[in-house]
Amino acid sequence: MDTDTPFSADQDVLVDANIFYAIGSPSNAQYRRFRSVVQNAGVICKLPRRVIGELGGPEADRVRTALDEGWARIIDAPSPTDGDAVAASDIAKRTIANETDQAEHEVEKADAILAGLAIQYIRDRSTAGVIVLTDDKPAKKGIENAVRAQGYTDTIAVHGLEDIIGDDSSDSIRLI
């Protein structure tokens, strides 16, 4: 299974809050699968502070477990003065507005922030590439567009949860 994950060692993996909701609590099969893929690839999930807040803070079970086990880390949001990051977030925001039929100012800032963060990481820190994980399709498209517009398609990839742990339907999902 590990061979078809998009991860490779030393990559920076930026993770949106919805991924942690999608995998559920640490006792869930999907949580365990996600953790084992991340650990086997030797990567660390980087969670923006804002995301930590949305997950209920660093003491929330699913966050605490990941932090304690060393496969997740808290990072800061991109600086509001970083031109490249701001431009990338704006592109993402425009795409999300378009995809969801909303006015641009209606788009949640946090939905676009990962685009800016990805650009900042690849420019300043990362050597082996950046992977962004989000379970929101409009946000995924927004980040992809920002990455394309700024010419980073070779080094930044965007994935949903399915790309990491496969289709979830084989898990014992409780239907009723």
Partner 1 sequence: MTSDHDRVRPDGGIDALDSPPRDVMDEEALKPETLAQNAPRLETVVQLLNRPALTRVYIYVCYWGPVAPPEIMEALDISKSTTYEYVDQLVDLGLVDRDDSTRPQQLTADPTVIVEQYAPIVITPTVLHALALQEVDEDIAYFIDRYGIGKLIAALRGAGLHFAGKTTQRMVATDIDVRETEAMMIVYALKPALAVGRDYDPFFEYLFPDVADEMDLPDLDEISNAPTHSSDLDG
- Give residues in contact with partner 1 (CB under 8 A): 17-18, 21-22, 24, 54-56, 96, 99-102, 106-108, 110-111, 135-139, 167-170, 172-176
Shorter beta-carbon distance to partner 1: residue 11 or 93: 93
Shorter beta-carbon distance to partner 1: residue 84 or 168: 168
C-beta of 97: minimal distance to partner 1 in Å? 10
Listed in sequence order, the residues at least 6 apart from 112 whose beta carbon sits closer than 8 Å to its beta carbon are 89, 90, 92, 93, 96, 139, 142
Shorter beta-carbon distance to partner 1: residue 11 or 89: 89
C-beta of 128: minimal distance to partner 1 in Å? 29
Q: Which helix (H) or strand (E) holds 171?
A: none
Query: How many other C-beta atoms can be found within 10 angstroms of the C-beta atom of residue 55?
Result: 21
C-beta of 109: minimal distance to partner 1 in Å? 9
**SS3 label, residue 53:** helix
**SS3 label, residue 39:** helix
C-beta of 167: minimal distance to partner 1 in Å? 7
Shorter beta-carbon distance to partner 1: residue 106 or 124: 106
Q: 134, 19 in Cβ contact below 8 A?
A: yes
Residue 12: closest CA among 123, 92, 88, 93: 123
